[in-house]
């Protein structure tokens, strides 16, 4: 969104925001929350790979290099049923939103490349990770349906709360 023309008042602001984001991503890359594991670590990896997919250059390549770790962590944290292993519908929905964002960003990059005469059939993500993310998203959407009440809200299991994650219907859309 920050790259949208007019999103920031001046070019200097855009450059400053981009530099700040790059600094924060470099700090994150050097300080992954492996000691917390679970959703924290997965969010760290999703953020870095998303940034790598959304940008180009040496820094973006360093962030994309976290793709194998993201793939491994998805295998670790998302059960075959699609449910996140912490079994909190709220965390499940929050993580699903991030997975969907990455799937959509890669699909958008692919469409941009195809529309501009590029021969790429995919975005910047490695093909195996892009396929894994689509599979994980589909399984997570299926699991979300199981933990969604008839009123359309998530079940209040574990440390879930309403109003934190996107509503299930919005994630499905």
Interhelix angle 67-77/127-146, rounded to 10 degrees, is: 30
- For the chain, what is the mean pLDDT? 88
From residue 167, give the alpha-carbon distance in Å to each of 13, 17, 36, 135: 33, 30, 26, 21
DSSP state of 24: H
Check pLDDT > 80 for residue 37.
no
Residue in 13, 48, 42 with CA at minimum distance from that of residue 27 = 48
Q: Which is more confident, 111 or 43? A: 43
Residue 139 structure tokens: 């399984």
In this prediction, residues 141-150 reach a mean pLDDT of 96
Q: For the segment 85-108, what is each residue's pLDDT rounded down to a tens digit?
A: 999 999 999 999 999 999 998 888
Check pLDDT > 50 for residue 118.
no
Q: Which is more confident, 107 or 71? A: 71
Question: What residues contact residue 78 under an 8 Å CB cut-off, 6+ apart?
Answer: 84, 85, 136, 139, 140
Integer Rg of the chain from CA: 17
């Amino acid at each position: 969104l920050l790259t949208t023309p007019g999103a920031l008042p001046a070019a200097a602001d855009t450059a400053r925001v981009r530099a700040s984001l790059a600094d924060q991503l470099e700090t994150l890359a050097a300080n992954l929350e492996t000691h917390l594991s679970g959703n924290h670590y997965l969010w760290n990896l999703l953020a870095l790979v998303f940034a790598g997919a959304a940008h180009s250059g040496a820094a973006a390549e360093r962030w994309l290099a976290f793709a194998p770790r993201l793939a491994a962590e998805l295998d670790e944290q998302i059960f075959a049923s699609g449910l996140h292993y912490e079994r909190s519908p709220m965390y499940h929905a929050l993580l699903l939103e991030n997975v969907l964002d990455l799937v959509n960003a890669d699909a958008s990059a692919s469409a941009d490349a195809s529309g501009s005469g590029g021969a790429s059939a995919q975005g910047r993500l490695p093909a195996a990770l892009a396929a894994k993310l689509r599979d994980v998203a589909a399984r997570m959407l299926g699991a979300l349906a199981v933990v969604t009440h008839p009123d359309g809200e998530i079940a209040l299991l574990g440390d879930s709360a309403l109003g934190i994650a996107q509503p299930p219907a919005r994630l499905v859309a």
